[in-house]
A and B are shown apart, each in its own frame.
Chain A
Amino acid sequence: MTDLDRLFREYHQPLVRYLTRRLGDRDWAEEVAQETFLRAVRQDAIVSERSWLFAVATNLIRDEARRDARRRKHLELLRAQAQADEVVEPEPLTLERAQETAIARRAIEMLSERDREALLMKEEGLDYQEIAAALELSVASVGTTLARARRRLVEAYESLQENAAHKAGRGSHAAS
């Protein structure tokens, strides 16, 4: 088994999940993950494989040019989705879940980039040393970063949920 095979088998799933959570786009996440693994093959020596992979993937995401191009495409997809949504009526339960996901997405987007990446890496099982290495932080600051990210995420999520409930209540009140 080559190094690429081993790396892929061991880290592909968590890396793609991290990237998907980070980007909200599975295809984009797959592309970034593949690029990450290709770079790993070209790398001579990697001390910490997981932190290195997540760091490279994070840096790739930060590539503004790439992101802008992708965002334009993503916007086009969203626009097409919005148009298609006009004729698709999801089931109530599905709509509720979709709304929850949308709020979570908006909440995570409200975090700073560093907080978001640290939190998502932690959720993928990276330890403090690996997160520190990937984000070029001190290990001691990872706890603080994570604590801040988590609190802000929960607060943002609850705020968004309250707004959504308020809008829904106002809509039903107006309808009645």
Chain B
Amino acid sequence: MQHLDEGTIHAWLDGALPAPEAAEVAKHAAECATCAAAVAEARGIIAGSARIVSALDDVPGGVIPSGRAPAPTEGTSMWHRLRLTPGRAALAATILLAVGTTLTVRSSSSPAPQANVDSIVSVAAPSAAASAPSRPVESVNHDSTKVLARSTVNAGPPRKANVRIAAPQTQTVAERREVADAAAPRETAKGELAKTRVAEQQVAAGASAMPTPPAAPTTARSNFAQAKALDLRADSVSGFEGCYRVSADSSSGSTEMPRGLPASFALSRPSAQPLAAARRAADARGEASVAPTVWRQLSTTQASVTFAAAASDAQPVSLVLTAGSPVGVASSGDRTTKVRVARSSCPP
């Protein structure tokens, strides 16, 4: 038998030869060293060519230029990653605009949070409280928003003596001054009246910027926003509502109460009652010892109560209350004194 040709060897190795012919080739390759070597070489060539052909399938990563990467815009764009469609973008913009508008309305309508949350309370010395006659609450202005009206309703029935909730109203600074002037005692000294006006203006400066329920509302929507803002603020400070009794803190070594700090007071639900109205109401009842004051919530756990000076030679006193703490810090001028503060039952 002649030596095997290369084509036959490859056909034999590929299994393409008929069985009889394949048997003859196998027998010859086993007997012929030259053909055996050729068969071995053919095996290597077949394996090598197969490896080279398979290399054509190799598409290594990283060598494909970014410009030829499949769908280069997909998965790389921020919009695609966020899956932000024009509709979703419009919705998001609308929400942002609404939130921004609400915040703007709230901030512009209440530059002084104190004005929104401040509430007028009547404070009386124990002796005055016992002798004070019962007076109904005076409502200064009935153009209140629904929220403010609810504040009045929640305040309960007209209080007596040292517990009094002033009705919300919407007076301007000038109107408040007029009311204050009209209600001021005739015997008030001219200088004292001037001081009172200064004090009123200071309070009204904050109150004037508060979201006053307008007599001629701009839009229903703005009213709603204002009412909603007030509603939230009112709810947020309701935890400090109630009556309090103040005494000297013996543990601090002091047995005296700071001057101007009443022995008891009450915090009402926040309202927009200005100082002048409370003073006028108190004066109208003849409660000379009653010192109207304002209070506001500093945080979720603290509130600051400011007692206006009851006399011309006195200074206002501020008292910081801490929720859950029996100790309050009273400040008057540059003096700071710890006092005992306890909740007490409000008189009927």
Contact = CB atoms under 8 A, between A and B. Distances in A.
B49 to A, nearest CB: 4
Contacts of B63: 88, 90, 94-95, 97-98
Nearest to B41: A151
B87 interface: no
Contact of A150 (B45, B59, B61, B67): B45
A151 B53 contact: no
Nearest to B61: A94
A153 interface: yes
A164 to B, nearest CB: 14
A135 interface: no
A150 B46 contact: yes
Main secondary structure of the interface of A (DSSP, over half): helix
B45 A154 contact: yes
Interface stretch (A17-25, A38-46, A52-60): A17-25
Nearest to B5: A144
Interface string A121-141: 011000110000000000111
A33 interface: no
A80 interface: yes
Interface in A128-176: 128, 139-151, 153-154, 157
Contact of B53 (A24, A85, A119, A139): A119
Nearest to A97: B60
A21 B67 contact: no
Contact of A104 (B53, B65, B68): B53
B52 A147 contact: no
Contact of B52 (A24, A95, A98, A154): A154
A81 interface: yes
B343 interface: no
Between B11, B16, B49, B62, the greatest number of chain A beta carbons within 10 A of the residue's beta carbon is seen for: B49
Interface in B48-78: 48-50, 52-63, 65-68
Given A143-B16, A150-B10, A120 B53 contact: yes
B14 interface: yes
B52 A142 contact: no
Interface in B250-302: none
Nearest to A127: B16
A151 B42 CA distance: 8
B146 to A, nearest CB: 67
Contacts of B59: 101
Contacts of A151: 6, 45
B9 interface: yes
B8 interface: yes
A98 B48 CA distance: 18
A75 interface: no
A100 B57 CA distance: 11
Nearest to B15: A127
Contacts of B11: 128, 142-143, 146
Contacts of B68: 77, 80-81, 84
A67 interface: no
Interface string B152-164: 0000000000000
A4 B7 CA distance: 36
Interface string A95-109: 101101101110110
B16 A153 contact: no
A3 interface: no
B50 A101 contact: no
B67 A84 contact: yes
Contacts of A63: none
A24 B46 CA distance: 21
Contacts of B7: 140-141, 143-147
Nearest to A93: B60
A101 B10 contact: no
A17 B46 contact: no
Contacts of A85: 65
A100 B55 contact: yes
B65 A88 contact: yes
A21 B50 CA distance: 12
A143 B8 contact: yes
Contacts of B66: 84, 88
Nearest to B44: A154
18 contacts: A21-B56, A21-B57, A24-B56, A77-B68, A81-B68, A88-B62, A90-B60, A97-B63, A100-B58, A107-B52, A120-B53, A122-B14, A123-B53, A139-B16, A140-B7, A143-B8, A146-B7, A147-B10
Interface of A: 17, 20-21, 24, 77, 80-81, 84-85, 88, 90-91, 94-95, 97-98, 100-101, 103-105, 107-108, 119-120, 122-123, 127-128, 139-151, 153-154, 157
